[in-house]
Chains A and B, each alone.
Chain A
């Protein structure tokens, strides 16, 4: 493989990293919001969200991507491939991460919440000061797994024309008539990205353990 070919794939890697970063920043808070709404048992809305989450969890990501990309224009919303990809990734990861947040909220210690209420903290203060700081630390592992799953989902957005790692590799392969080397390079890049994330998780977990003791 030539240097320009590798450059093409690395440019794709920048797009993949950007897609992943934006979707994470949007979907983790959105997942938490979905979990809070379901946890509060807001009538009708909670049921609708439960149905939405199981729908997204059953749908293959590539089907979701095609759905978002082809349906929205017929509803009068024109979306370019990149925003459509971000929207699909965000819907997918918000649905999956909301299950993690929901499990965390359900198992959160009742004693602590009651103690906080007895001290006169408001609902909002209980959440921001007591509940949230503990659940994100305790669920860092599952959340990072969700992020690695998101990274592993990103090749599917190549199908709607986003030039990320996989599509860039496909282009190089089509130009050189040798598809295997560029896909090997692409696989190496994904593996490196995902391994870095997992390693980062270990570092943060160790820091948390040192600072707060073992969370559990």
Chain B
């Protein structure tokens, strides 16, 4: 019971932590979804040498544990003369990491777009920009929705590692409260509950997209 009381008394810390986690993840998505789409277009359309080196880069990023990437960004950028505080370094590393995974997801979704709809668009004389905007991207958004949802949940999970470079997100808050009140269970259970809530919201969003897909494409 004293644990629950401790959580309630430090609810500001938890709300601040949860808000920080959400802010990091939203900021990361706002940056990495456009970047991921751009990278996926480059991965499918650019000439051989560029495409191969980009593919290598994406594969390399996907082999690195996120915590190590965060350390490299956090300690590496100052060497390049760019001093970022932990929050921005965290956002930068989260964005870099998520972009690599999203690019792979978008690339696979591009390849799954039916050839005939693209050929029909060509036959109607659509420009390349219009082809992407009206034909390819809407289909990609719908087919890739479940995978993007999974990736968002993964990004939330990864963001917790940023506590190690002292970003004050949700897990940092739970750890802080548990260390200060000597009651480990309730603070961590509260954090897990909040994470669960976030993933429910995302899964509900994905299910809604699935319904759109069923209505449109049967």
Binding site for B on A (CB under 8 A): 54-55, 57-63, 66-67, 70-71, 74, 148, 151-156, 158-159, 166, 173, 179-180, 183-184, 186-187, 190-191, 194-195, 198
B164 at the interface (CB under 8 A from A): yes
Are A166 and B68 in contact, CB atoms less than 8 angstroms apart?
yes
B151 at the interface (CB under 8 A from A): no
Are A57 and B199 in contact, CB atoms less than 8 angstroms apart?
yes
Are B156 and A60 in contact, CB atoms less than 8 angstroms apart?
yes
Give the interface size bracket for B toward A. Answer: 35 or more
CB contacts (< 8 Å) of B156 on chain A: these are 60
New contact pairs (14) apart from A58-B192, A166-B67, A195-B63, CB-CB < 8 Å = A61-B157, A62-B161, A63-B160, A63-B192, A67-B184, A71-B185, A74-B185, A151-B65, A152-B65, A154-B65, A155-B65, A158-B67, A179-B75, A187-B68
Task: Give the complex CA separation of A166 and B70 in angstroms.
Answer: 12
Binding site for A on B (CB under 8 A): 60, 63-69, 71-72, 75-76, 79, 153, 156-161, 163-164, 170-171, 174-175, 178, 184-185, 188, 191-192, 195-196, 198-200
14 residue pairs A–B, Cβ–Cβ below 8 Å: A58-B199, A60-B156, A60-B160, A63-B195, A67-B192, A70-B178, A151-B65, A155-B68, A173-B75, A187-B68, A187-B69, A190-B63, A191-B63, A198-B63
CB contacts (< 8 Å) of B170 on chain A: these are 63
Task: Give the complex CA separation of A195 and B63 in angstroms.
Answer: 7
Query: Contacts A57-B199, A159-B164 given: A70-B188 contact, CB under 8 Å?
Result: yes
Are A190 and B68 in contact, CB atoms less than 8 angstroms apart?
yes
CB contacts (< 8 Å) of B195 on chain A: these are 58-60, 63
Are B72 and A66 in contact, CB atoms less than 8 angstroms apart?
no
Query: Contacts A183-B72, A191-B64, A194-B63 given: A60-B161 contact, CB under 8 Å?
Result: yes
